[in-house]
Amino acid sequence: MAPVTVDGPTNGSVKSKEEEGSAQPLFEIDDSDLSRLLEKPRPLNTERKRSFDERSFSEMSINLSPPRNNNFYRLSDNSSRGFDNLDGVYSPGRWTGTPRSGYFEPHPIVGEAWEALRRSLVNFRGQPVGTIAALDNSSEELNYDQVFVRDFVPSALAFLMNGEPEIVKNFLLKTVFLQSREKKVDNFKLGEGVMPASFKVLHDPVRNTETILADYGESAIGRVAPVDSGFWWIILLRAYTKSTGDTSLAEMPEIQRGIRLIMTLCLSEGFDTFPTLLCADGCCMIDRRMGVYGYPIEIQALFFMALRCASLLLKRDAEGNECLDRIVKRLHALSFHMRSYFWLDIKQLNDIYRYKTEEYSHTAVNKFNVIPDSLPDWVFDFMPTRGGYFIGNVSPAKMDFRWFCLGNCIAILSSLATPEQSCAIMDLIESRWQELVGEMPLKICYPAMESHEWRIVTGCDPKNTGWSYHNGGSWPVLIWLLTAACIKAGRPQIAKRAIELAESRLLMDGWPEYYDGKLGRFIGKQARKNQTWSIAGYLVAKMMLEDPSHLGMISLEEDKQMKPQMKRSASWAF
């Protein structure tokens, strides 16, 4: 398959490479159209409201003194920010100074981090459209010189928190246009709603053109489509809307269509008996073979959050209402399923340990026919008396008991986790600090697979050896998710402790992609330096802890209607 491209003169119209030999271009945007989309003034609703959750954040025991000015942050004459009608916490104006003293002292690496983040910016026809994955000249580029949808999210949040939303707006528009193109792998056509995993801007100085080359999975390891890209795109769109008060972007026909296409792709009917989303291995942040096929927690949590964000962003018209009805039904079923079957605490672990098997009836307790002897030995020692978490995967006769950081943090932020479950996850992190945080936050999953299990599950992957990369490696980018989850759960001191650990090494080590070892003591054996999302993740965590009201752009409060009266299945009727 020829890669999907966006091609055009640097100062002219955008055209596809095929346009010269075909009457039907793949992608064409007129200069005036693009300028109008990107420069259209947005009406801001500046009415200031203060929710219960915002009052709670402001009343936290975090002593915030007035900010100091810093050249690395853009100053604003008018720092008021619009308040939209989305639920959650209001996100205020742009960042106007260094971290305030009182809760923690300003750290010198903040300025260095902002400089590094700005060096990673990618421009298309004179406008920033994203940040590349890494700026490491010491290693082969591979695809680290591309703009990844999932990787850009922490960068986007950093710019939003700093009052620089234009790059985020440009990115959202560019990717939704790439979504609308026909996508094929070999002779198979991908779903219309699939978002690209990444894109690259190619410059041709001879023709004075710039081309966007998009990858929808046809170039990825294992040729797997990125299931999470569409979810992150919707979550980021909601964050942009929440932060800026600009509803005009989300209301654009192209954006509304993009949301509906993603929802249609995920809510299509099939042979599923569960409301969870069936996925291939390697379709998310863990993009290599790691035994996360089936119903991985990362995808289910992102799916839940994207459904909730989409329900807030879709217009209440004929097309939007039809989609909304399906979203609401799926949300109720998904929340019940996840909270009931993915949740593990010491009581549930004991129940599984005592399961009977081969039950056949509607009253079966062991609904997935999990064999108790399949429980791994480590989980009995890992599970504290107080604490719990959403396990990695649940499917027929299979439970993956591994801890996955991203899925559990998103479960808290999306309110997939109940308030009680959120507190239990925080209890687990505190009680298992050495295992999950160690000397460098934060374990992407725990524990690592080794020896025979590693050979069978990963296929002897040399990059995912024990306690390295996706297999128990420590990823600094995850610190922003931990910080957001800690603030939402009312435990900011956990985030503060993790940030201080990261600050002690990140700049000195050159902002690595990941760390190796049981405690995260060593820079990853194949880790890229100057990894953009390691930089951005730290900045977002720092800004969020300094001003917790930023949480509003990435957090959703619990929907009280998400606890419907459960009715017996129709199959109970005789």
The string of pLDDT tens digits covering residues 253-262 is 999 999 999 9
> Of all residues in the chain, what percent carry a pLDDT higher than 90?
70
Whole-number pLDDT of residue 140: 73
Span 191-213, pLDDT tens digits: 899 999 999 999 999 998 999 99
Span 324-353, pLDDT tens digits: 999 999 999 999 999 999 999 999 999 999
Residue type, 569: S
209-232: b (≥16 Cβ within 10 Å) or e: bbbbbbbbbbbbeeebbbbbbbbb
Residue 285: how many CB atoms within 10 A of its CB? 25
* Residue-wise DSSP of 300-327: HHHHHHHHHHHHHHS-SSHHHHHHHHHH
Q: How confident is the model at residue 2 (pLDDT cuts 50, 70, 90)?
A: very low
Compute the residue count for the chain: 574
Helices (H), 520-560: 532-546
Span 3-15, pLDDT tens digits: 444 544 443 333 3
Q: What single-letter DSSP state applies at residue 277?
A: P
Evaluate whether 283 touches 299 at the Cβ level (below 8 Å).
yes
Asked if residue 442 has a cis previous peptide bond (ω within 30° of 0), the answer is yes
Residue 367: how many CB atoms within 10 A of its CB? 14
Burial of 36 (0-12, 13-18, 19+ CB in 10 A): exposed
CA distance 345 to 390: 9
> 549 CB contacts (<8 Å, ≥6 apart)?
54, 57, 58, 89, 90, 91, 92
Span 503-546, pLDDT tens digits: 999 999 999 999 999 999 999 999 999 999 999 999 999 999 99
Give the distance from CA 469 to its chain's centroid: 18
Helices (H) and strands (E) in the chain, counts: 20, 16
Whole-number pLDDT of residue 322: 95
Q: What is the mean pLDDT of residues 485-501?
A: 98
Place of tokens 């999953």: 445
Q: How confident is the model at residue 60 (pLDDT cuts 50, 70, 90)?
A: very low
| pLDDT over 70 (residue 416) | yes
CA distance 184 to 163: 38
Span 356-413, pLDDT tens digits: 999 888 888 899 999 999 999 999 999 999 999 999 999 999 999 999 999 999 999 9
Lookup: tokens for 237: 């769109």
Q: How confident is the model at residue 42 (pLDDT cuts 50, 70, 90)?
A: very low
Evaluate whether 358 touches 366 at the Cβ level (below 8 Å).
no
Lookup: tokens for 379: 């989980």
* 436-439 LR contacts (CB < 8 Å, sep 24+): 436/403, 436/405, 437/498, 437/501, 437/520, 438/474, 438/517, 438/518, 438/519, 438/520, 438/521, 439/501, 439/519, 439/520, 439/521
Taking the CA atoms of 430, 343, 234 and 413 in sequence, report the sign of the dihedral they define: negative
Place of tokens 């026919």: 369
Whole-number pLDDT of residue 563: 61
Mean pLDDT, the chain, whole residue set: 84
CA distance 366 to 374: 14
Of 478, 544, 508, nearest to 109 by C-alpha is 508
Helices (H), 2-122: 31-39, 52-58, 109-119
Highest averaged pLDDT of the listed ranges 33-42, 83-92, 442-451? 442-451
Q: What is the mean pLDDT of residues 305-328?
A: 97
Q: How confident is the model at residue 156 (pLDDT cuts 50, 70, 90)?
A: very high
Lookup: tokens for 266: 């995920």
> 69 CB contacts (<8 Å, ≥6 apart)?
75, 96, 97, 98
Whole-number pLDDT of residue 287: 94
Residue 104: how many CB atoms within 10 A of its CB? 16
Q: What is the mean pLDDT of residues 21-46?
A: 39
How many Cα atoms sit within 13 Å of 552 on the Cβ side? Answer: 34
pTM beyond 0.85: the answer is no
Span 220-257, pLDDT tens digits: 777 888 999 999 999 999 999 999 999 999 999 999 99
User: What angle, rounded to 10 degrees, do the helices at 166-179 and 227-244 form?
Assistant: 140
Whole-number pLDDT of residue 105: 54
Highest averaged pLDDT of the listed ranges 99-103, 214-218, 468-472? 468-472
Of 63, 111, 67, nearest to 93 by C-alpha is 67
Evaluate whether 266 touches 299 at the Cβ level (below 8 Å).
no
Give the distance from CA 227 to its chain's centroid: 11
Of 51, 9, 22, nearest to 555 by C-alpha is 51
Highest averaged pLDDT of the listed ranges 134-138, 169-173, 567-571? 169-173
H/E stretch holding 184:
strand 184-185
Place of tokens 């435990």: 491
